[in-house]
């Protein structure tokens, strides 16, 4: 295609793998080279002349951006979640929105399980203890944790990632409970998972793992009431979105000692401010939103995002399109 006729695409960060090289063969490509995301005004300015955007979960695509982007036809998010995008506004403007489901399921489930084990068995604390030179001798009371094998796991959101966590939990002899909008007979048959209501999951789970997208219905799904209803000493793991947990209520429950601990790959806000109590409270395991961060998976996500974008720019429905 002559260069002048090629669609213009702005990518909000460098991506791993070969995806951008491939995209560059079809479009007029411009990539934000900084490590930090483009500030909103810069994104607006780029969107104003773009036919397509490749975005990350740090980039807000809303009615204001759409109003300043007359030729925009497609937004391709390099993530399965798309709470950073106003899909309704995009749909009204006939802008296709793509995401990357499937690509990161197993990698994210591995990490959720790493956090479950790390939190229950105090792996980060143990590492810090040894490095600080505190280890003097074997002790029967040193860094005692919670058994994962045989514990009851409560899965909130038995979608692809929640189900993959349940399969791992089965190998650990866990009793698996889940809450979800619909029953999952295949998951139940494969893992022995039992669908329960929210009250039962909160009351019975030793460990709760969150796997719901962030929507108005799931914002603060774990709040003051839910934390009070959890089993004393229970552990909470969030690899979904920070907004699913009320941060103020979480800090209170940790300070009270009612919650046994929390592992957060996602927080609200992201990143946490340096003075957040979560930075200093014990029994808190933190990660910088890396559940999907393996070389292979991030390459796959970038590649899927490029496929989605190219399809939309060619006038086809993207293979993974979230517009209704």
| Catalytic sites, residue numbers | 241, 270, 289
Q: What is the DSSP letter of 67?
A: H
H helices of 172-294, in order, are 185-191, 198-204, 224-229, 247-256
Q: Report the 10 Å Cβ neighbour count for 62.
A: 13
3-class DSSP state of 209: strand
Tokens matching residue 127: 């590492």
Which residues of this protein are in contact with ligand DGY, per CB under 6 A?
A: 57, 79-81, 104, 292
CA torsion through residues 49, 55, 58, 63, sign? positive
Rounded CA-CA distance 83/214 in Å is 6
End-to-end alpha carbon distance in the chain = 31
Q: State how far the Cα of 121 lies from the Cα of 117, in Å rounded to an integer.
A: 6
Look at the block and give the residue holding tokens 């411009």: 30
Angstrom distance (rounded) from CA 169 to CA 322: 30
């Amino acid at each position: 295609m002559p260069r002048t006729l090629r669609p213009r695409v702005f990518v909000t960060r460098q991506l791993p793998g070969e995806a951008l090289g491939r995209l560059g063969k079809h479009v007029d490509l411009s990539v934000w080279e900084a490590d930090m995301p483009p500030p909103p005004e810069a994104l607006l300015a780029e969107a104003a002349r773009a036919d397509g955007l490749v975005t990350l979960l740090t980039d807000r695509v809303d009615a204001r951006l759409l109003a300043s982007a007359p030729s925009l036809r497609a937004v391709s998010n390099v993530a399965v979640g798309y709470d950073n995008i106003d899909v309704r506004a995009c749909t009204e403007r006939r802008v296709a929105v793509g995401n990357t489901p499937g690509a990161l399921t197993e990698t994210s489930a591995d990490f959720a399980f790493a956090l479950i084990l790390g939190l229950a068995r105090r792996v980060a604390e143990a590492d810090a203890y040894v490095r600080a030179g505190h280890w003097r001798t074997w002790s029967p009371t040193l860094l005692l944790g919670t058994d994962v094998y045989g514990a009851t796991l409560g899965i909130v959101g038995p979608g692809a990632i929640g189900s993959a966590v349940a399969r791992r939990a089965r190998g650990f002899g866990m009793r698996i409970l889940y809450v979800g909008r619909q029953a999952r007979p295949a998951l139940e048959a494969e893992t022995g998972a039992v669908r329960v209501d929210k009250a039962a999951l909160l009351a019975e789970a030793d460990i709760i793992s969150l796997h719901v997208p962030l929507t108005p219905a799931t914002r603060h799904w774990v709040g003051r009431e839910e934390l009070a209803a959890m089993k004393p000493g229970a552990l909470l793991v969030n690899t979904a979105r920070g907004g699913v947990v009320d941060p103020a209520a979480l800090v209170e429950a940790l300070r009270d000692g009612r919650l046994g601990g929390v592992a957060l790959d996602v927080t609200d806000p992201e990143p946490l401010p340096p003075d957040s109590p979560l930075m200093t409270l014990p029994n808190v395991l933190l990660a910088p939103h890396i559940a999907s961060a393996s070389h292979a998976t991030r390459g796959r996500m970038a590649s899927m995002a490029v496929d989605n974008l190219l399809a939309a720019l060619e006038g086809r429905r993207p293979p993974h399109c979230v517009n209704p």
